[in-house]
Structure 1
Amino acid sequence: MAASTLTIRLDSNLKDEASRVVEHYGLDISTAMRAFLTQIVNTNAIPLSLDYEQPNEESLIAIRETKEMITNGSGESYSNAHDLIQAALA
């Protein structure tokens, strides 16, 4: 197997933080990158979550309440942010 060199440009802070994390696992950046690329080849996929995060329970409740308010025509309306803030402070 012939060796090859891969050069990437990235922010120094990102490199430093990533190095800190992989060193916690006893690795260096080169070894972690080889493992990452090996995983891509072995799984024929990028081993990252590219999905949007799902809303938590509190957000789901707020979404349901908002949909109900829209359906029922209930809730308050405000013509500008100032009025909304004033109502919230009252």
Structure 2
Amino acid sequence: MTTTTISFRTDKTTKEQAKALYAEMGMDLSTAINIFLRQSITDNAMPFRVTRDKPENIAARRQAERHEGKTFQSVDDLMEDLSHA
């Protein structure tokens, strides 16, 4: 099998985070990208669902990551709040 080179651009942070992630999985970026490409061919599509999040979902995820928002002392309190939503 002959190989060829693909060149693409990404920001430095993304590259370094991806390299670290895949290194923990025992592979380099080239291997990970090849897996992505081969799975795309197998699926005849992207190997994952590409969607655009709704703004309220993005806001909720950010709120959760920052540990903001309502907290509850019990499941009953949570359920009570949900029943009034």
Which range, TM-score by smaller chain?
0.5 to 0.7
Aligned amino acid, residue 37 of structure 1:
L
Could you tell me which residue of structure 2 aligns to residue 9 of structure 1?
9
d(CA) in 2 for partners of 1:25, 1:16: 14
Q: Which blocks of at least 5 consecutive residues in structure 2 are unaligned?
A: 61-78
CA-CA distance at 1:3 after TM superposition: 1.4
Could you tell me which residue of structure 2 aligns to residue 45 of structure 1?
45
After superposition, the CA RMSD in angstroms is 3.0
Could you tell me which residue of structure 1 aligns to residue 32 of structure 2?
32
Map Cα deviations across residues 57-82 of structure 1 (whole Å, 9 max, x no partner).
x9xx58x84xxxxxxxxxxxxxxxxx
TM-score, normalising length: structure 1: 0.55
TM-score, normalising length: structure 2: 0.58
d(CA) in 1 for partners of 2:50, 2:27: 25
Q: 1:15 and 1:44, CA in 2 relative to 1: closer, same or farther beyond 3 A?
A: same
Over 2 Å off, 4+ runs: 51-56
Q: 1:55-66 counterparts in 2 under 5 A?
A: 61=82, 65=85
Q: Percent identity?
A: 28
Map Cα deviations across residues 37-66 of structure 1 (whole Å, 9 max, x no partner).
00000110101232356969x9xx58x84x
d(CA) in 2 for partners of 1:51, 1:6: 25
